[in-house]
Amino acid sequence: MLQVVYFYPKDDTTGCTIEACRFRDDFEKFRVTGAEILGISDDSSESHDRFASKYKLPFTLLSDKGGHVRKLYGVKKTFGVIPGRMTFVIDREGIVRHVFSSQSSPARHIEEALAALLNL
């Protein structure tokens, strides 16, 4: 299965809400490509449940307390403090085919991921 794995700083903050809602709004476009979307932050599962329910997010949010998965993917903190915002497109063989990193352009993550999926 194709995957879009995106790391984001914090549930229910301005940039993260923009990003999550854009993934939601374009969800059908991702589904057509056969891609699964996974959002990851260090927020708790309860926080993710509230965030997903509030914005009717149709994809999975995973809790990465302690940032272990974030470290495995090499997602660094911005200014050494704010958890980074990075998106990975992973092909059916588990190979990372595209990486996009931008803390200040959350909506571009969706555009980048869709373009990468359409080029696979």
Which positions are annotated as active-site residues? 16
In terms of Cα–Cα distance, which of 41, 53, 34 is closest to 15? Answer: 41
Helix axes 14-25, 108-118, angle to 10 degrees: 30
Tokens of 48: 């993710």
Alpha carbon 40 to its chain centroid, in Å, reads 6
Tokens of 95: 């190979």
Alpha carbon 10 to its chain centroid, in Å, reads 11
In terms of Cα–Cα distance, which of 2, 41, 8 is closest to 109? Answer: 8
